[in-house]
Amino acid sequence: MADGAASAGLTTSGFLGVGRSLSGRAWRERPADPALTRSHAMKHGLSEPLARALAARGVGEDQAADYLNPTLKALFPDPSSFLDMDRAAEILIDAVMRDRPMAVFADYDVDGASSAALLVRWFRSMGRTLPIYVPDRILEGYGPSPAAFRRLREQGAELVVTVDCGAAAYDAIAAATEIGLEVVVIDHHLMREDPPAAAAVVNPNRPGCNSGQGNLAAAGVAFVLLAALNREARRRGLFEGRSEPDLRQWLDLAAMGAICDVTPLTGFNRALATQGLKMMSNWANPGLKALMQVAKAEGPAGVFHAGFILGPRINAGGRIGRADLGARLLSTDDPDEALALAEELDALNISRKDVEREVTEQAIASVEAGEARPSEASAIVIAGDGWHPGVVGIVAGRLRERYRKPVVVIGVDPVNAIGKGSGRSQPGVNLGRAIQAAFEEGLLLAGGGHAMAAGLTVRAEGIEAFRDFLGERLTVESAAATELDVVEIDALISPRGADRALFQDFQRLTPFGPGNPEPMFAAADVMVQYAQAMRGGHVRCTLTDGAGGKLKAIAWRAEDTELGRALLAGGGGLHVAGRLKADDWNGREGVQLEIEDAADPRRNGQG
């Protein structure tokens, strides 16, 4: 088990004396109130390290039970607390009763696909078929456009529900009004004070919305909408003679949106993810089941399945293939169609990885050459001709991990000199708000998003001005974020004490994600043995201690970093921090450490 409280390694210069690690960060003990820690341990029968981790995540004395066992019954919000939610439900139930032609307009990522599938499945249970329109990322860009709405109107639609988009579609919704197309917006992205002129705009991040659910993904908002639809349909007697849709059967879709859109897993959103993963584990959704089959994966669903096996494949259609594949996959009840779509998405995902690898290498080379001024800039903005717009977001995430600051990666079409970009941010830096400000300043053709991720469209000649604007705009936030960019340790362990029992104990805190960080463990003065570089730039090794304990470990994409070089050099005396993962290869039921960082106390500034 854990070697006592992590405070055993705390010094004035940082946890285990680490003031500057190999990644340039300080280590510190994740702060927790001792009295609250004791209360959690006694009240809920938790080990001291686990109780301390619970307290360190801001879980109060009266919140622990719901945190450890988050249920929809305890945490489901009143749908009426969302601005325009009741209005949206009335409009949609009216449409059902009047048999109005409807369509769903969805974003091309997992959250958009999951949100669309939720609506399609609810209306199917009511005997209605909703077509799905997903814009092509390259040809149409993000969100609704006047042309897309005209196309839907020409196809007979009278009402369109936008999901995971629409909150910033002022021009498109104005155009829809002119052609007699009614629009209901279901979104979660940051938006301006005045909403677009839609029939209803449901968005917990809309100014004036008092739901307190701003951490929801669009799929979470859509799931609450289904509850509102059930309530409104019940009020009007639509369930007389038919079964009321059981929303629990679609919790897996709500969880996919919550996890893959990297939303804070707290409160009701935590309950959606927790209960949704339990529902997902039944693999009743033909699309998710087929994806697991083609990926040759198995087991009860977890955050890893949703975020790293299923999510990237669903996203692959919107990135480099046909944009509607993911939504169609999650909506179908035909196992044969699901398998065909899953195989197509799996093949696209393989191609996506190749494209992503090439762009990542070029982007890193450009940054290292000084094109983005990474050392002094508060944010990195890097652009390249021909970089595929479908992978720039992933590349931005890779560079953010590497350089520890907000990154925007822009792929420029050399024919029309227009760049499509995507950004990923550091905690404490609201990138979406900064990009929205750049758009309002006239520096961008389009732009918006949320705190940790955002997208934009920019003229090639305007990239330098945008880089300067973003660098200046984020100076204060980035400086503060850099001070907070530390490795927070939950417990001190040794290779001998890192066992399956410790891993299982901390699994009570799952699901992990923003707002509920995965526990970080530190081991002091370990010996690195059998280190080897692997395909993909990963470094695998074994950590040993003086008591004969051994712990398998791996550092992802670390070979060409200070961390990777230190591990490959081997030897003793390193402090290592990382996350414990299950190691079930050949049924061994062991653990391995995914290394986040390391420090050499013998080097200046690290101890």
Q: Residues 550-577: pLDDT tens digits?
A: 999 999 999 999 999 999 999 888 999 9
The pLDDT score that the predictor gives to residue 374 is: 55
Q: Percent of the chain, pLDDT > 70?
A: 96
pLDDT for the residue 605: 47
Strand partners for 378: none
- Please state the three-class secondary structure of 13-32 as a single string: CEECCCCCCCCCCCEEECCC
C-alpha 324/C-alpha 311 separation (Å) is 14
The single residue listed with the structure tokens 């960082």 is: 597
Q: Give the β-pairing of 521-533 and 539-544.
A: antiparallel
Helix or strand run (H / E) with residue 477: helix 475-484
Q: Which residues contact 398 (CB under 8 A, 6 or more apart)?
A: 360, 557
Residues spanned by CATH 2.40.50.460 within the chain?
6-64+486-599
Question: How confident is the model at residue 139, as a pLDDT?
Answer: 85
CATH 3.10.310.30 residue ranges for the chain: 370-483
- Residues forming a β-bridge with 577: 522, 597
pLDDT value, residue 319? 87
Is the domain defined by 75-346 classed in CATH 3.90.1640.30? yes
Give SS3 for 62: coil
Separation between Cα atoms, residue 368 and residue 519, nearest integer Å:
32
For residues 231 and 99, give the distance between their C-alpha atoms in angstroms, rounded to a whole number: 19
Show the tokens assigned to 123. 């209306």
CATH 3.90.1640.30 domain residues, the chain: 75-346
Mark out the alpha helices in 181-281 (DSSP H runs): 218-235, 251-260, 267-280
Contacts of 441 (CB under 8 A, 6+ apart): 469
Say what the pLDDT of residue 375 is: 58
Segment holding 330, helix H or strand E:
helix 325-331
What six digits make up the tokens of 264?
Answer: 């804070």
Using 50 as the pLDDT threshold, list the residues of the chain that sit under it.
1, 4-12, 604-607
- 6-64+486-599, CATH topology level: OB fold (Dihydrolipoamide Acetyltransferase, E2P) (2.40.50)
CA 394/CA 396 separation, integer angstroms: 5
CATH topology of domain 370-483: Diaminopimelate Epimerase; Chain A, domain 1 (3.10.310)
Pairing of strands 550-555, 590-599: parallel
